[in-house]
Amino acid sequence: MGKTDLQSAINKAQKERQAEKKKPSFSIDFDKYLPYLEDSEIPESEKLQLIETLYAIMRSLVDIGFDIHPIGDGCGQVSKAARKFTPDSGNSVKSEADTLAPRFGEEARALETADDAR
């Protein structure tokens, strides 16, 4: 590794550390949510714990949502598990007003045929 490569790696590591420091931090505004629990007969400490728990659940769902990258990770290929959910499989939700499902099924079968041909 040359001197330029080493300096480039150091600069990259420093930028990554700075980016980590810039990540937003979150805190709970209990005063904003306590009024929703005014009529409940639970102690104040349990109200605060409930708000913290709900906040943790919400935060986890947001984190999960941002960690899922269907386009980037999918590479345009339909997984075998996803093929089980075609409209004709009986594993999908059906509706009287469903006009998209038949077209989706055709596209899924076309992808499946293309995958099988590879």
Residue ranges of the chain whose pLDDT lies below 50: none
User: Is the CB of residue 107 less than 8 Å from the CB of residue 88?
Assistant: no
Does a structural domain hold residue 14?
A: no
Residue 48 domain boundaries: 28-68
Same domain (yes/no): 80, 112? yes
Burial zone of 74 (CB within 10 Å; 0-12 exposed, 13-18 middle, 19+ buried): exposed
Q: What is the pLDDT of residue 14?
A: 82
What percent of the chain is predicted at pLDDT more than 90? 23
Does a structural domain hold residue 94?
A: yes
Same domain (yes/no): 32, 52? yes
pTM to 2 decimal places: 0.39
Centre a 10 Å sphere on the Cβ of residue 64 and count the other Cβ atoms it contains. Answer: 9
As for how many domains the chain has, the answer is 2
Q: Rounded to the nearest 5 degrees, what angle is found at the Cα of 14, between the Cα atoms of 8 and 18?
A: 145
User: Is the CB of residue 34 less than 8 Å from the CB of residue 47?
Assistant: yes
